[in-house]
């Protein structure tokens, strides 16, 4: 490939903090090399349309407030798999050929896809089908993309959840209440576990560790017996009810997502402990914050490494952070297994040694 490349960039899946920062990093580095960067709107949906929905991104687009903001100026979608694209009426349609045609119509030399494991797997399938030169960057508040130690957006989400606990503690103490905080993290308990430790939680429930209500009740009673009249409980949205069923919130239009375990747990704890219980569901607040310093740094490191990969024509790879190094790995390897909480790892052990109840004992 000669210099003066045209590269596309898109954000796919649920948004998170740091997406605008990574767009800026790519645009800065690529434009410094004399390349053109096209921002594709609403993930692969922008490529599906004819003409594709994309516009040139310039350095000046980002240097003011945008790099500091949550969300993504390109837009994103959680429900647009081009291999089974939802139709208003009728069955899903395979629109993968339209996406590939969009990439070709834009005369792209390469595409940077920023996504979680689901989006990255779909982008990789498109790349393999259409011969697209793909490089991916991991982002998700859930931090469950395999192999990389950190995904964009996670650190900020943990900070938001920790701030929430800091604000719940005084009101819990003032009213002698059990405060339950439900946090996102589809199928992975990283946010709940880390924010719970940082925010001084007494009980942390994560989907990786089965729990019994009786153990939580004992913990709360022991706290009360010791003179502590409030308790902080963090529960991850993917924690099932006592029967082992995950709690799902159905939205108008037929879509659904996890949500509701906090209130179920609240009712059970109110019945069994006689304590006054209140529930806060953080939900999408975890996604919309401005990126913290760590997420901004990772955005810049990942963005620059992705541009390097394109310069070296190393495609089909995802950038990752391991052992304090920016590395890149084959996409198949990255999405083979989700990175769940290691129940025998140092973070879980730390929680146990601190006397935090994880529900299993
Ligand atoms: O995967 C990121 C995530 O924020 C999960 O933590 C959550 O379950 C899901 O997305 C919510 O998705 P939606 O944006 O469709 O409500």
pLDDT per position as a tens digit, 70-83: 999 999 988 889 99
Q: What is the position in ligand 1's atom list of the atom closest to the CA of 255?
A: 15
184 lines ligand 1 (CB under 6 A): yes
154 lines ligand 1 (CB under 6 A): no
For 260-296, letters b (16+ CB in 10 Å) and e give bbbebbbebbeeebebebbbbbbeebbbbbbbbebbb
Other Cβ atoms less than 10 A from the Cβ of 178: the count is 27
161 lines ligand 1 (CB under 6 A): no
Distance 113 CA to ligand 1 centre (A): 18
Distance 259 CA to ligand 1 centre (A): 10
What CATH homologous superfamily does 156-288+342-353 map to?
A: Phosphofructokinase domain (3.40.50.460)
Give the separation between CA 11 and CA 211, rounded to whole angstroms: 36
Catalytic residue among 15, 98, 117, 142: 142
Q: What is the position in ligand 1's atom list of the atom closest to the CA of 286?
A: 4
pLDDT digits (tens, 9 = 90+) for 169-191: 999 999 999 999 999 999 999 99
- Residue count of the chain, please give it: 361
**Residues 157/132, Cβ–Cβ less than 8 Å:** no
Which parts of the chain sit beneath pLDDT 50?
Answer: 1
For 148-165, letters b (16+ CB in 10 Å) and e give bebbbbbbbbbbbbbbbb
The pLDDT of residue 79 is 86
pLDDT digits (tens, 9 = 90+) for 36-76: 999 999 999 999 999 999 999 999 999 889 999 999 999 99
Q: What is the position in ligand 1's atom list of the atom closest to the CA of 79?
A: 15
Distance 256 CA to ligand 1 centre (A): 10
Distance 216 CA to ligand 1 centre (A): 27
258 lines ligand 1 (CB under 6 A): yes
Could you tell me which of 108, 113, 82 has the C-alpha nearest to residue 10?
113
Could you tell me which of 130, 89, 102, 106 has the C-alpha nearest to residue 45?
102
Give the separation between CA 206 and CA 193, rounded to whole angstroms: 7
Judged by DSSP in three states, 280 sits in strand
Q: pTM for the complete prediction?
A: 0.97
Distance 234 CA to ligand 1 centre (A): 18
The pLDDT of residue 311 is 98
- The residue extents of the domains of the chain are 6-152+291-322, 156-288+342-353
Domains 6-152+291-322 and 156-288+342-353 share a fold: yes
Could you tell me which of 137, 162, 161 has the C-alpha nearest to residue 151?
137
142 belongs to the catalytic site: yes
Show Cβ contacts of residue 312 under 8 Å, excluding neighbours closer than 6 positions. none
The pLDDT of residue 115 is 98
Containing H/E element for 197? helix 190-198
The pLDDT of residue 317 is 98
186 lines ligand 1 (CB under 6 A): yes
Q: What is the CATH number of domain 6-152+291-322?
A: 3.40.50.450
The pLDDT of residue 1 is 46
């Amino acid at each position: 490939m000669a210099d003066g490349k045209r590269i596309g960039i898109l954000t796919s899946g649920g948004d998170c903090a740091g997406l605008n920062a990574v767009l800026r990093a790519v645009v800065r580095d690529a434009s410094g090399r004399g390349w053109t960067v096209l921002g594709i709107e609403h993930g692969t949906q922008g490529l599906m349309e004819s003409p594709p929905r994309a516009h040139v991104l310039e350095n000046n687009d980002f240097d003011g407030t945008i790099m500091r903001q949550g969300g993504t100026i390109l837009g994103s979608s959680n429900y647009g798999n081009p291999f089974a694209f939802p139709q208003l009426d009728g069955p899903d349609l395979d629109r993968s050929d339209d996406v590939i045609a969009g990439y070709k119509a834009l005369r792209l030399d390469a595409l940077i896809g920023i996504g979680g494991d689901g989006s990255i797997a779909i982008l990789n399938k498109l790349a393999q089908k259409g011969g697209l030169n793909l490089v991916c960057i991991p982002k998700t508040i859930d931090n469950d993309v395999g192999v990389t130690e950190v995904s964009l957006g996670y650190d900020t989400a943990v900070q938001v959840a920790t701030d929430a606990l800091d604000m719940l503690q005084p009101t819990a103490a003032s009213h002698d209440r059990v405060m339950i905080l439900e946090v996102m993290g589809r199928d992975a308990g990283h946010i709940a576990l880390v924010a719970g430790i940082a925010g001084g939680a007494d009980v942390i429930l994560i989907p990786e560790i089965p729990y019994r209500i009786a153990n939580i009740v004992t913990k709360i009673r022991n706290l009360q017996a010791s003179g502590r009249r409030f308790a902080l409980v963090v529960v991850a949205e993917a924690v099932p009810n006592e029967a082992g069923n995950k709690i799902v919130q159905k939205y108008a239009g037929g879509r659904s997502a996890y949500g509701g375990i906090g209130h179920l747990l609240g009712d059970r704890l109110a019945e069994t402990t006689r304590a006054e219980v209140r529930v806060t569901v953080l939900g999408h607040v975890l996604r919309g914050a401005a990126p913290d310093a760590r997420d901004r740094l990772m955005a810049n490191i990942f963005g620059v490494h992705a541009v390097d990969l394109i310069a070296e024509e190393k495609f089909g790879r995802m950038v990752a952070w391991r052992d304090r190094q920016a590395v890149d790995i084959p996409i198949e390897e990255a999405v083979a297994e989700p990175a769940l909480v290691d129940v025998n790892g140092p973070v879980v052990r730390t929680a146990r040694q601190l006397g935090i109840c994880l529900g299993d004992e």
